[in-house]
Structure 1
Amino acid sequence: MSSVVLPQPVASAEPAAPAAVRTGVSRMALYVLLGFSAGLPFYMFSTVLSARLKEHGVALAVIGFFAWVQLLPTFKFLWAPLLDRYDVPGFGRFWGKRRGWIMLAQLGIFTSMLAMTVTASDGSLAVTALFAVLLAFWTTTLEIAADAWRIELAPTPEEQGPIAAANLWGYRTAMVAAGSGALLVADIPQWGWTGAYLLIAAAAFVPFPILAGMRPDPGHAGGRWTALATGLIAGAIILGVAALATAVIGWLVLNAAAGAGISADTNVTPWVLVISMLPFLIMAVALPRIRAARATDPIRASAAIGPYVDFFWRYGFMAIMLLSFVSVYRMGDVLALNLSKPMILGLGYTKSEIGRADGLVALASSVVGVGLGGWMVTRWRSGVTLSIGAVFAAIGNFGFVWLAHMPRDELTLYVATGLDQFGNGMAGAVFVVYLSMLVNPRYPGAQYAFLSGFAFLLSRLLSGAGGTMVSQLDRVGLNGFDIFFLASGVISLAALLFLPVLAGVKPRPDDA
């Protein structure tokens, strides 16, 4: 199978990388650290939160609605251009644009997770949702800055393979550590969910002093301690404004939902499917105008929308096919993420058993899967690596169906967990490199944010309706979880249908 023909990288507009991250080994170590920073909080507003809500008796449909918190990364393109254009006051003066935003995001992650300890009883689901959204926002902001820096440091597939694998090693190691550690600690009566979130908050803050101790960015002057103090003051103001804005928007959304009569008994699936199709219709209508635009046209020259218009200008109507493919490729994994822990808990497994499976098996399986994926992209064509990743991702989803029909045994749980994490790790590694090579290096932060965000839009919309789907199937006498996880695996395999069409796609040469 042929690989997609990709644009040649151009010189980045960013200053030269610090000497400490110019070598391959230093880059990989850096991105293990950055992946770890982003991976720790992710499970805390997704999988771990769904287990916490399940234990507190929250309806499955409502747990599904909480999956929509994960939509925030999908819309990161809305604020990604700000990270490409502006420095964080204080932090940016000494550590540069990318590290400055990463450090601010880590402060946001730490304070949001501390706030989630206050809601550990889930007495007010609205307050729980507020802090979960803030945690998702700052986690996503960290990823935007780290992804942009990664693309600048490694602009070719050969360079991206190792650094992307290192990032995913750190990310998935942290995810597994957070999931396993949080569940094990939460099962200790003296600690509970409060102790679990407190422990992960402390671990998530560890990379901050490490980054603060790194060398200054080339071209940036000023004292380290002055920059740190200024950054902390500015950061506190920014965090406060973000929390207030989130609270106001959340209040408006919840009141609008209540006014529309949406509740745990509402079948939201048809509405979700309609909303999911709207972006594709809008793109189809706008593409003729975009393809005819010149480099000086306002829609291409705009700092706000220019980076996104550029993607459609370069790929034309094949951009819709590309976005359809990336929307489907990881859908099975995302659908399984939010409901896997409630299903396993419903089978009678304890939090400690799930925690041991995540700690003993998931980490090793994920590391091996990511490593194989990173190795494959440096040697084989993209069509081959994407196909292999999709197959193993589907096997991981089918493993949950197998688990549900086996006698309750911790070893069986280990096997199902290992299959899931291995497939996710491999598919994730090849997918990150594929998306990175679609990006125009003139807009690394904004375009990667758009592509990686859009890749999960449809799946996260559907994931939010997952609890409703399972409940509706159970009501008509079917096994809702069986059908849900079977369907998620089949969707992973459906991504293979796109590859023959995408094999010959070439972007229009850049005219800027």
Structure 2
Amino acid sequence: MTDHALTADPATASGRVPLRRMALYGMLGFSAGLPFYMFSTVLALRLTEHGVGLVVIGFFAWVTLLPTFKFLWAPLLDRYDVPGFGRYWGKRRGWIMLSQLGIFTAMAAMALTSGDASLGITALFAVLLAFWTTTLEVAADAWRIELAPTQDEQGPIVAANLWGYRSAMVAAGSGALLIADGTGWTAAYLAIAVAAFAPFPLLVAMRADEEGGRQAGNRWSALVAGLVASIVILAIACVVTAGIGWLLLGAAAGIGITADTNVTPYVLAICMLPFVAMALAVPRLRQLPFSHPARRSAVIGPYVDFFWRYAYGAIVLMAFVSIYRMGDVLALQLSKPMIRGLGYSLSEIGRADSIVALLASMIGVGLGGWMVTRWPMGQSLAIGAVFAALGNFGFVWLAYQVPTEPMLYLATAADQFGNGMAGAVYVVYLSLLVNPRYPGAQYAFLSGFTFLLPRLLAGAGGGMVQSIGYNNFFALSGAVSLAAIAFLPVITRLRPRPDDHPEAVAG
């Protein structure tokens, strides 16, 4: 049985999504969501507690840039299997299992170096954690698009996935802070590492022919082979990451970038480069026939196909996706240091990030998933943008309140509700833009580009806050979310060119 076998599921074919599949994607979302805060928001608080400067904490936001570049290795996940795991459980599940091993080892390493005595070591393991978390998401997203190609099918699965994802983010953020406040950062990271690894034995226990497995060979021999291969792959990834980091830090030092450098002008210039490159490339790409090597390439073909299908409309789409979630990303890295600076304790922040954030997020995700199955996409995107902006404005409001837990709960709930709603609508929208022939690569490209500009700017966020203050920073981030609405009249009218693949033409 192949990874595509479930596309023939009678329940899906009739428009109903099996509960078994929704539960699976809830679990995958949970597995991917647990690590995210540990290399972003929780790490920012950990660095704050260790006296690291705000500008340097902002630089650590660039760790979250890694998911932006997932399109660089996403085609490998479409093309190759993980030795051992893939032979028995299938391509998608094999990559998910490898990723979970990577997540566990990277987070355990962050736990054992939780004193942050060397920021270079902290950055190394944070990058590895981000890499394996992203790889898990790439495999799960490709699988989801293959199994649920229509808007009606995507809505419930995306909602289940985001429920799991956001529940895990809340559990990690809240649980880690409560544990850290009581027993220290090492215990906090180890506890989340164990929780993130919990789905691995569940995947191993699933039948080989269930949810796209292949049932080739013996389960236990495949598991042993997969574990041996995973150790080798994880070691190679660590060495390569360390080498790249050493080169980048050396280059930064060589051009004089320090903790006191105002990097905002450089970041803004870099942000313009992708749009210049796209404007120069589109006239050529839109003329390429399907027989051209660039369109048939396993490495760049999926991305060339996107620009071939949308032509100049692709530039408008890329501009829209680059700002729709910008407000959320800009607020993510610095919201917790701001709240800590207002006088709230780690335990108070942890309690706000527990049941309050979880309920608000799940309600927002549920409403977002419901909207896209019943309302036009443009209307759903607009509503999501408004509520995401209100979440950012909530931090401005919080700064003027007397520090009490109810006030923190209100601001947290507004932020999580808006992010949940906008996220659910947006994931469905991106999923409908991709060509079903290249689901993993194209979704990775679009979702990665979504966070390229925001995360570049987030890295300069510490310097921006020092210049304009937290209040203006969060007001600006909310305004950017609202600015995305101006694109909706255009993007809702864009339609791709008909597929010129020989099979599609013959059909």
Shift in Å at residue 336 of structure 1? Answer: 0.2
Where do 1:134-153 residues align within 5 Å?
134-153=128-147
From 199, 209, 216, the equivalent of 1:207 is 199
- Residue of structure 2 equivalent to 1:7: none
Q: 1:14/1:209 Cα in 2 relative to 1: closer, same or farther (>3 Å)?
A: closer
Counterpart residue type for residue 364 of structure 1: L
Shift in Å at residue 20 of structure 1? Answer: 12
Where do 1:482-493 residues align within 5 Å?
482-493=471-482
Shift in Å at residue 177 of structure 1? Answer: 0.3
- Residue of structure 1 equivalent to 2:446: 451
1:118-143, Cα deviation, whole Å (9 max, x unpaired): 22111100000000000000000000
Where do 1:152-231 residues align within 5 Å?
152-188=146-182, 191-217=183-209, 218-231=213-226
- Residue of structure 2 equivalent to 1:3: none
Shift in Å at residue 219 of structure 1? Answer: 4.1
Counterpart residue type for residue 464 of structure 2: M
Q: Which of 259-268 and 157-166 deviates more?
A: 259-268
CA distance in 2: counterparts of 1:143 and 1:318, whole angstroms: 27
- Residue of structure 2 equivalent to 1:126: 120
From 262, 273, 277, the equivalent of 1:278 is 273
CA distance in 2: counterparts of 1:396 and 1:227, whole angstroms: 47
Q: Is the 8 A contact 1:365 1:418 kept in 2?
A: yes
Query: Structure 2: any 5+ residue segments left out of the alignment?
Result: 502-507
Where do 1:104-503 residues align within 5 Å?
104-188=98-182, 191-217=183-209, 218-473=213-468, 480-503=469-492
Q: Is the 8 A contact 1:180 1:354 kept in 2?
A: yes
SS in structure 2 opposite 1:511?
Answer: coil
Shift in Å at residue 15 of structure 1? Answer: 3.3
- Residue of structure 1 equivalent to 2:83: 89
From 48, 71, 80, the equivalent of 1:54 is 48
Question: Which one has more relative contact order, counting CA pairs under 8 Å at least 6 apart?
Answer: 1
CA distance in 1: counterparts of 2:214 and 2:266, whole angstroms: 51
Q: Is the 8 A contact 1:20 1:26 kept in 2?
A: no
Q: Is the 8 A contact 2:324 2:481 kept in 1?
A: yes
Identity score, percent: 71
SS in structure 1 opposite 2:298?
Answer: coil
Shift in Å at residue 220 of structure 1? Answer: 4.0
Q: TM-score, normalised by structure 2?
A: 0.96
Shift in Å at residue 21 of structure 1? Answer: 10
Shift in Å at residue 32 of structure 1? Answer: 0.3
1:51-80, Cα deviation, whole Å (9 max, x unpaired): 000111100000000000000000000000
Q: 1:38/1:72 Cα in 2 relative to 1: closer, same or farther (>3 Å)?
A: same
Q: Is the 8 A contact 2:107 2:129 kept in 1?
A: yes
Counterpart residue type for residue 228 of structure 2: I
- Residue of structure 1 equivalent to 2:92: 98
Shift in Å at residue 35 of structure 1? Answer: 0.1
SS in structure 2 opposite 1:354?
Answer: helix
Counterpart residue type for residue 53 of structure 1: L
CA distance in 1: counterparts of 2:191 and 2:10, whole angstroms: 30
1:444-495, Cα deviation, whole Å (9 max, x unpaired): 000000000001100000000000111123xxxxxx1001000000000000
CA distance in 1: counterparts of 2:70 and 2:175, whole angstroms: 28
How many positions carry a matched residue from both structures? 493
Q: TM-score, normalised by structure 1?
A: 0.95
1:388-442, Cα deviation, whole Å (9 max, x unpaired): 0000000000000000011111100000000000000000000000000001000
Q: 1:21/1:303 Cα in 2 relative to 1: closer, same or farther (>3 Å)?
A: farther
CA distance in 1: counterparts of 2:294 and 2:62, whole angstroms: 30
CA distance in 2: counterparts of 1:378 and 1:15, whole angstroms: 24
Query: Structure 1: any 5+ residue segments left out of the alignment?
Result: 1-12, 474-479
